[in-house]
Amino acid sequence: MSATEGQRGSSTLEPAHPHTHLAFAQSRALRPSTKVLPEHARNHNRSLVLQTLYRTGRQSRADIARETGLTRVTVSDLVNDLIAERLVIEMGQREDARPGKPATILDIDRSAFQIVGIDLSEHSLFRGAVLDLDGQILNEAEIALAGSTGDDAVAKVLALTEQLLAKTTAPVLGIGIGSPGVVNLDGVVLSAPNLGWHNLDLRAQVEARFGHAIIVANDANAAALAEHSFGGADGDLMIVKVGHGVGAGLLLGGSPLYGSRFAAGEIGHVVVGTDGGALCVCGKHGCLETWLSTPNLNLAIEVLRASGASEAEVDARTNLILIEAGQRLGIALAPIVGALNLPEVVLSGPTELLDGPLAQATIETLRNRTMAEFHGDLTLRMTTLGQNIVLRGAAVMVLSGQLGVS
């Protein structure tokens, strides 16, 4: 019997029935699935320090200690590591006059690393950018898709990546790729019909070629992360991407929802309403995409324009088309928004189509079809990040994966 054993035995014994509290109360830990070693804890705290610096910027070690609850000693130690890794720099002493030794201001060296972000979700081209650690775009590039699919499309991803890497002017933190379709956590594109990809290990292919840290995820999930980190949204939101197809990304408690088969957010082929609808390429009638995808909307509007009606007539009937589309979106979203108690829905896509009668009709329909108590919390708006939302989301994935920061 060891001394340790004896001590513990007597110190942790519980009082007897019926009034027993266990000494420790596991806060809300559900199903711990892997062991935790001291180094994991250290990494966590390291990220915590980075995180506070990333969000607040320009703080002293003592500031960070107060905010994180760690001691100044521990923060100093972690910061020393971060400085040695060139991630954090000392910015000189704090200016403002107050008692005590002046603080040494720290900040993440936001120009020390760069991120390559790539967006594969557009119909006719792949877009990419070099971004700094703040998610600001430093350089852009694009490559026409020209109908490429399969390995040809992969080659274009690699070519674009190469172009972008050539434009970097600092060490590369990682490469983030937002791809359409169903992507698993290992960066394997399980299915992206438009690109002819099935079980394509895109992450491995890019890594084999360039050797950086690569993260591949669904484009809408990337967009949701961007909206959270850079668009001012909080941690619970749904982003609806309207384009050639319709897809969604869900962020719950700050984390993307992937779904049991990584197909969360694939709402384009959910049937909307109980009154039929147009035939969809998938074979069903009345899928959300038949109401809402940009090709379908633009087609309807062009038919209208070619009809020879007056301009006022065309405008009025265009509005009706957009309102109908918005209502259909609202009908589809209402059960989701209600079931998830979502406070925020964000639209991404062509502003001229979405940002007006369509969005208005969507929010009205949502309110008409969900619980009234809940309406005060419910907002629907266009993204503030425009076309770069997936690129910036790809950067968030890299930041989050490499630094634990976002």
Partner DNA sequence: CGAGTTTGTTCGTAAGCTTTACTAACAAAC
Partner DNA sequence: GTTTGTTAGTAAAGCTTACGAACAAACTCG
Q: Which of residues 42-81 bind DNA (CB under 7 A)?
A: 42, 45, 60-63, 69-74, 76-78, 80
- 359: tokens are 């969005």
By CB under 8 A, residue 313 contacts a copy of itself: no
**Which of a copy of itself, DNA, none does residue 54 bind (CB under 5 to 8 Å by kind)?**
none
Residues 5-24 that bind DNA (CB under 7 A): 5
Q: How far is the CB of 26 from DNA (least distance, A)?
A: 13
Total number of residues that touch a copy of itself (CB under 8 A): 114
> Residue 221's closest CA among 84, 397, 29, 345?
397
DSSP-assigned letter for residue 297: H
Helical packing angle, 389-403 and 38-56, nearest 10°: 140
- Work out which of 97, 306, 312, 339 binds DNA, going by CB under 7 A: 97
DSSP-assigned letters across all residues of 100-141: SSPPEEEEE-TTT-EEEEEE--SSSEEEEEEEETT--EEEEE
By CB under 8 A, residue 3 contacts a copy of itself: no
Q: How far is the CB of 75 from DNA (least distance, A)?
A: 8
**Which of a copy of itself, DNA, none does residue 310 bind (CB under 5 to 8 Å by kind)?**
none
Residue with token string 């852009």: 140
By CB under 7 A, residue 36 contacts DNA: yes
**Which of DNA, a copy of itself, none does residue 110 bind (CB under 5 to 8 Å by kind)?**
none
CB neighbours of 278 closer than 8 A, spacing ≥ 6? 285, 286, 290, 291, 296
Q: Which is nearer to a copy of itself, 127 or 328 (CB)?
A: 328
The Cα 97–Cα 131 span in angstroms is 36
- The angle subtended at Cα 155 by Cα 150 and Cα 157, nearest 5°, is 100
Residues 90-119 that bind a copy of itself (CB under 8 A): 113
Beta bridge partners of 183: 189
The Cα 345–Cα 234 span in angstroms is 11
By CB under 8 A, residue 70 contacts a copy of itself: yes
**Which of a copy of itself, DNA, none does residue 212 bind (CB under 5 to 8 Å by kind)?**
a copy of itself
**Which of DNA, a copy of itself, none does residue 16 bind (CB under 5 to 8 Å by kind)?**
a copy of itself
Residues 4-23 that bind a copy of itself (CB under 8 A): 4-5, 8-9, 12-14, 16-23
DSSP-assigned letter for residue 196: T
By CB under 7 A, residue 201 contacts DNA: no
Show the binding pattern over residues 263-282: x = contacts a copy of itself (CB under 8 A), - = does not.
xxxxx-xxx-xxx------x
Residues 163-222 that bind a copy of itself (CB under 8 A): 165, 168, 170-173, 185, 191, 211-213
- Work out which of 10, 98, 276, 373 binds DNA, going by CB under 7 A: 98
CB neighbours of 233 closer than 8 A, spacing ≥ 6? 227, 251, 344, 346
By CB under 8 A, residue 340 contacts a copy of itself: yes
The answer to whether residues 157 and 121 touch, using CB atoms and an 8 Å cutoff, is no
Q: Is 129 left (phi over 0), alpha (psi -120 to 50) or beta?
A: beta
List residues binding DNA (CB under 7 A).
1-2, 5, 35-39, 41-42, 45, 60-63, 69-74, 76-78, 80, 93, 97-104
